[in-house]
Structure 1
């Protein structure tokens, strides 16, 4: 029989069959529930931790948006202007992680052939484009917006020239990111993974997925290594003195005093700006003389801005120190309970495993100079044992392929299991550059959601 030119002949019957809307919605309910549960959980638990527990007004100062007046007539544009930066960042952060969780659920459903195939197909068609848009366009655009705003450029100010320059910088930064994302991936993938003909024929979505896969694997490997070193350092390298309630109270008192001083300075700055805006326009000669002698209000405004910047940096440093003290205090109290002793024992075993992974990876890297085909996944006994167990469960599985997948999954386990150690090490490094941490705090949650 000659092959047919009709593409519908190759489509399975379950895809051709149209399900009722109610049945399709019921079959898609697991994916919807996963998205909602994960989004709500990370927005209420993980996002405040990564954003440094900063108040909403301070977070909005780091990610400024166009001001909104409630006197305006309600409209769609008005509601969009009314979105605060924190709301937008929380939405993108939660959507990134929730869609990733749904994608993992879809992959597991495809492997086990559970849930209605039509619902799976529809969920994949919605999840993949949405995740690509958020990872490649929406999240980088918001991060670039934050960097430009922190540099002093206003997107919603009264000065049209400054606003125009800010939006030009935003578009230029996003264009540079997209060009670098595409052509760097094209150079790597086209040179090492695919033939030249394949590079020309695959679609844009396939190319984006390949680039995200390569970047994701590299980031997972780097972060897993950092997590392993952090776990070793926090378990065997550093010995903290006991933390008392008095230490936490003193740190909390210092943070409260800093917040009060910061509120006072900010109130004074707002009053000064209001006074300067209500001052009548000066003449040309007066402005020339004022520029030579110096305006008292301008000098006071600059001094207040400098003091506010220093107080914000101090508040960030004190907040991180307080968070570290509370975490250590909680760990010390938990260590005297049976559950805490069990966790400490598991932590020691996990740290020994991290040491083994670092040593084995370094040894395999050195061996590749003499044997280029050597890889860690093929020589690691833990990966091979787990792959043999999987093959015993299903003899049709490819043991070598499963060994590679298990190695990658164990890297993810290392990263998530040592999250607290990574956080403590990050806070330790943050003491060296608290100012940089203060400006990067708003983008930290978005970067984590991208990874």
Structure 2
């Protein structure tokens, strides 16, 4: 095809990825927000395009698309630009916009530049110190070579991937299986709504009493003459000030109770919606799928424990190993290298698509959860850095799911990294994330159970005084 044709394919795909990221940014992430900085959208879209291009080049390696020299050339360019983006551009922009949130720093441009530069250099120091604590690359590599940078980014990215994978392996079965759904009826919801409305009515009544007490106090202070003095003295000895203070304390307590009741009502309504959804065809399908992922989660936990205890790392990809087992135990006569390559290609495709989709959905939910007017720029830049780090680390871990031929190609491209360390580190963080997720979901499950069982208290008209 030639270098010109190969360049057109890569550039055209970059444009498509960039356009998709730009549209996704405007329609999903900033759908209900005003975009103030076009630079933020541009950097986010560039990071997404570079990340998708790495997966595209992995696919080209498997399908033998483009010339081998062109693939190697574009691998080096994409890796270099991605590393510069993740290590230099995004961290500096984050530092710059973080300082902009402080009014005493944002007024002076020189102070703001120096502050952001100091924050950026501090980040670079801790980023480079990662290489001292982890065996990520060979010591013979130079300071400016690919391997030390990829190794450090890989540690951060693999940690993020393991945390998300551990939480997802526990959260998906919990949210999709009907086994974990609490039995909630409309009577429970009505009782919770009744308690909430009683509390709100009490707050309104006490606020009216507070306004009247404060109005009487102002009138007594403004009143002149002999009878005004007598009225003020009478209020003082009658305890009007104490009454106002007591009312304020009661209102604050009831407002806190109302917030808790609102959360309980929301949990009950969500539980009822889960019950209704579980009775649909789609809900039953995801319920069966939840049992499958529950088994996968248990299997993955056991495998991670075995890998950690025995320092075991698979030398053969799962596809080839599975075909070897099928041939050995069932006597199938198949071309192992051919089918290993074909199934490996489809497996890589599924992993790529699900990784991109899952991360975009996670980033969108995370942005809506914590974004605000002042912090939206910083959050988007932070999510862009997480995305670039995540996808670059995915390529490192993707190597284990490929056949020996393609695994060798990725090894040559990524450099002399300690790949066994990344898989062992992934198992450790995955196990920690899984255990923590089980603990927190157990606490949340217990709170919902308590909220469900407490609805009977709402029938007592004096429950609020307990």
TM-score with structure 2 setting the length:
0.50
Equivalent residues, number: 305
> How far is the alpha carbon of 1:134 from its aligned partner?
0.9
Change (3 A) 1:362 1:118: closer
Distance 1:174 1:444, change over 3 A: closer
Taking CA–CA contacts closer than 8 Å with sequence separation of 6 or more, which of the two structures ends up with the larger relative contact order?
Answer: 2
**Is the contact between residue 21 and residue 45 of structure 2 (CA under 8 Å) also seen in structure 1?**
yes
| Distance (Å, rounded) in 2 between the aligned partners of 1:350 and 1:153 | 51
Q: Does 1:100 align with 2:46?
A: no
Hey, what does 1:177 align to over in structure 2? 123
Q: CA contact under 8 A between 1:387 and 1:406: conserved in structure 2?
A: no
CA distance in 1, matches of 2:157, 2:274: 32
Structure 1 equivalent of residue 164 of structure 2: 223
Structure 2 gaps of 5+ residues are 187-266, 329-333, 391-466
Aligned to 2:20: 41
TM, length-normalised to structure 1 = 0.51
Aligned to 1:208: 149
Evaluate the alpha carbon distance shift between residue 89 and residue 435 of structure 1 in structure 2; reply closer, same or farther with a 3 A threshold.
closer
1:409 to 1:169, Cα distance in 2 relative to 1, 3 A: farther
Q: Cα distance 1:35–1:202, how it changes in 2: closer, same or farther (>3 A)?
A: same
Q: CA offsets, 1:54-89, max 9 Å, x none?
A: 4225xxxxxxxxxxxxxxxxxxxxxxxxxx52x212
Q: Deviations over 1:342-366 (max 9, x none)?
A: 455334423432343234324543x
SS at match of 1:28: helix
User: Does the CA-based 8 Å contact 1:148-1:169 persist in structure 2?
Assistant: yes
The aligned counterpart of 1:89 is 40
The alpha-carbon deviation at position 167 of structure 1 amounts to: 1.0
TM-superposition CA deviations, 1:87-120 (whole Å, max 9, x none): 2122111111211211222233234432133532
Pairing partner for 2:304 from 361, 371, 380: 361
The answer to whether the Cα contact below 8 Å between 2:86 and 2:385 also exists between their aligned partners in 1 is: no
2:408 maps to none
More helix by share: 2
1:55 aligns with 2:33: yes
Distance 1:422 1:227 in 2: 11
Question: Distance in 2 between the 1:358 and 1:384 partners?
Answer: 20
Q: CA deviation at 1:147?
A: 1.8
- Output one character per residue of 1:299-334: Cα deviation in whole Å (capped at 9) or x when no partner: xxxxxxxxxxxxxxxxxxxxxxxxx9xx99999998
Q: 2-side partners of 1:111 and 1:188: how far apart?
A: 31
How many angstroms apart in 2 are the aligned matches of 1:31 and 1:338? 42
8 Å CA contact 1:223–1:415 kept in 2: the answer is: no
Conserved? CA contact 1:228–1:414, under 8 Å? no
Q: Partners of 1:127 and 1:427 in 2: how far apart?
A: 27
> In 2, Cα distance between the equivalents of 1:41 and 1:56?
19
